[in-house]
Amino acid sequence: MNLPNKLTVLRVILIPFFVVFLLLSPGNDLFKWISLAIFIIASLTDMLDGKIARKYNLITDFGKFMDPLADKLLVCSAMICLIDLGKIPSWVVVIIIAREFIISGFRLVAADNGRVIAASYWGKFKTTFQMIMVILMIADLGAVVPYYDIVTTIIMWIALVLTIISLCDYIIKNKDVMSGDM
């Protein structure tokens, strides 16, 4: 297993630790900051594994499949926890997770036909803004930073819009997957 794939696997391994610390964080600032640090480290492995894979030509089908899946697991588990903590509306998370299921379905159908659908630029922008949104919501510095809550809300809306745009982009670019004309 090459280094980018190991980083992807590390990201998946970090998720349960992140979730435990985040869910134990109300009333415990140390756990909040630990969960935030784990999330940031896991998020940075996403950027790092892609750069290493492209630079050293270590792109694999495993990486094309697992990297976006690891991102989905990380971000979706964070958002589900943030619903529980009252920091994000559930309807936003439902839209984002619905998009992830639809794209995963496309990827499964494509894989059954011997094709791997890699992440698009829209998908990467979407993931970046979702990760920034999660970081801002976990840090929750609205009490000490002016306009923090407004900025966090704007980032949430940008992440939501990018989620919808990237869904449309995947559907348009890969409509042949569902029609069987691959």
Q: What is the pLDDT of residues 3-21, one digit of tens each?
A: 999 999 999 999 999 999 9
pTM for the complete prediction?
A: 0.91
Q: Which residues contact 125 (CB under 8 A, 6 or more apart)?
A: 162, 166
Q: What CATH class does 3-179 carry?
A: mainly alpha
CA 77 to chain centre: 9
What pLDDT sits at residue 182? 55
Which sequence spans correspond to the domains of the chain? 3-179
pLDDT mean across residues, the chain: 92
What pLDDT sits at residue 75? 95
What is the b/e burial string over 86-118, where b = at least 16 CB atoms within 10 angstroms of the residue's CB? ebbeeebbeebbebbeebeebbebbeeeeeebe
Angle at 112 between CA 176 and CA 6, to 5 degrees: 110
* 64-122 confidence digits (pLDDT tens): 778 888 988 999 999 999 999 999 999 999 999 999 999 888 888 887 887 877 678 89
